[in-house]
Amino acid sequence: MTTTPPKKLTIATRESRLAMWQAEHVRDRLQTLYPDCVIELLGMTTRGDQILDRTLSKVGGKGLFVKELETAILDGRADMAVHSLKDVPMDIPGGLQLAAVLEREDSRDAFVSSRYANLAELPTGAVVGTSSLRRQAALMAAYPHLTIHPLRGNLDTRLRKLDQGDYAAIILAAAGLNRLGLQDRIRSCIAPELSLPSAGQGAMAVEIADHRPELAAWLAPINHLPTALAVQAERAVSKSFGGSCQIPLAAYATIDAEQMHLRAFVATPDGSKIIFAEARGAKDQGTALAQQIVERLKEQDAAAILAQCLTE
């Protein structure tokens, strides 16, 4: 393995404000490690950024946010791409790999509203915006008197729709708001017990071509092992159930000292049925814990829920 520092690196990124922040963060981390390296950003627009009038579950899912970036890696225009890990499909295309996962930000969902302090304050019929079937299912199960409407667009677009009165409240990932210095928009964070996060939520990942071992070596110092272990377990659960945006599925692992606590649920989109499972074990046994979770969910007839989701 080469130990020669890189001379030039190109990072592919979406052009949204949050995506650019994430790419710049990785650039700055690498610049500190390799001060003589020239690091450039390659801004790109993905299909996920272009299609805003339909939910992800109806237009192709999470891969819409990464495909163009992955193509740039494979054709040599970029050395790597930076993603929000929750946007990365569970099946990585051939020739690519996730080489580093950075330390996780706040993984919780955030309640954002101009008029109300939390979900419990919302009146009957209040319109709540979210792009996630997982959030929709959790909200409808706990607050069936609310009206859930789809909400697409980048972070600034979603906040603008809230501010112009289209929604009484919207639910966003706390991590994105924190990263952009918009903490004051968060009225309250939603406890995982009420809205369990999605696999990889709050984490960033760096993707490279798998024939570039020197890149993996250069990225190794920014890989945060506890986060990498946690999200690996979460993604294993999601992958077992297809890892699709059409399925309201949550998977969330926390690590305390040497122990991992993995929780997951599968639900119908309307929240009328939610099945839950959890497992605990050694932090490096995430794949085995994920399998335990999957088996426990299957014992609760997860197959019937999945079949219902895929026919709606």
- B/e letters for 139-177, b = 16+ CB within 10 Å, e = fewer, are bbbebeebebebbbebbeebbebbeeeebbbbbbbbbbb
Two structure tokens written together for 83: 């993603």
29 vs 82: CA distance, rounded Å: 13
**SS3 label, residue 163:** helix
72 vs 23: CA distance, rounded Å: 15
Rounded to the nearest 10 degrees, the angle between the axes of helix 286-299 and helix 302-311 is: 80
Two structure tokens written together for 179: 């990263």
Catalytic residue among 49, 79, 87, 106: 87
Residue 278 Cα to chain centre, angstroms: 20
113 vs 122: CA distance, rounded Å: 10
Rounded to the nearest 10 degrees, the angle between the axes of helix 286-299 and helix 225-240 is: 30
Q: What single-letter amino acid sits at 55?
A: T
Active site residue 87: yes
Could you list the active site residues? 87
